[in-house]
A and B are shown apart, each in its own frame.
Chain A
Amino acid sequence: QKEVEQNSGPLSVPEGAIASLNCTYSDRGSQSFFWYRQYSGKSPELIMSIYSNGDKEDGRFTAQLNKASQYVSLLIRDSQPSDSATYLCAVTRDSNYQLIWGAGTKLIIKP
């Protein structure tokens, strides 16, 4: 079992709809949770970080964390074609701040 699991996709969503991306992790000691977006040929850029159970909203993005179920999700409202990218889920679990990465979900927003 991988430490951080994501559905590789592609996930196809119509423009204007809500895109829902999911991630599960195996280590209950995981402390911090991140969503990064990566366009093809580019490096990852941070979208959201979340540390406690519940929802965290930032513009069109909402991160949700459920530590009991060991999953973290990212919702993108009013999806735009520019949101088409690979979304990477990452967690940290110890004091050296190393990120444990999921394989990423490819999201395609169809005009």
Chain B
Amino acid sequence: GAVVSQHPSRVICKSGTSVKIECRSLDFQATTMFWYRQFPKQSLMLMATSNEGSKATYEQGVEKDKFLINHASLTLSTLTVTSAHPEDSSFYICSALPGQRTDTQYFGPGTRLTVL
């Protein structure tokens, strides 16, 4: 149980293009999902908290117009990196909370983004 998928697992794009990453909870409903970014040899950095049906809450320093988050259903959240640049190249990971009675986050496998 508590499986989270991400798609795509890897993406390479040209500078200036937009990339959409999907995060799905496969066997549970997730009212809350989190988006993280991780640079090499660093710990996870929380980018935003996404609640189903409402606007995402972004962490300080994260540009909400650049990293668009949509949590339209209880099983799907998307992160769109708009006008990507090489400095956006990173490992993007989502996690999901399976409901009200637990505070345990389950992580997706991550998406490796490379911007050329």
Write the residues of chain A forming the contact surface with B, with a CB cutoff of 8 angstroms. 31-32, 34, 36, 41-46, 49, 88, 92, 96-99, 101-104
Contacts and interface: CB of A to CB of B under 8 A. Distances in A.
Contacts of A41: 91, 112
B103 A102 contact: no
Contacts of B107: 36, 43-46
Contact of A97 (B44, B103, B108): B103
B49 A34 contact: no
Interface string B85-116: 00000010100010000011111111010000
B74 interface: no
22 contacts: A36-B107, A41-B91, A42-B109, A42-B110, A43-B108, A43-B110, A44-B44, A44-B93, A46-B105, A46-B106, A46-B107, A49-B104, A88-B44, A96-B49, A97-B32, A97-B97, A97-B103, A98-B34, A98-B49, A102-B43, A103-B43, A104-B43
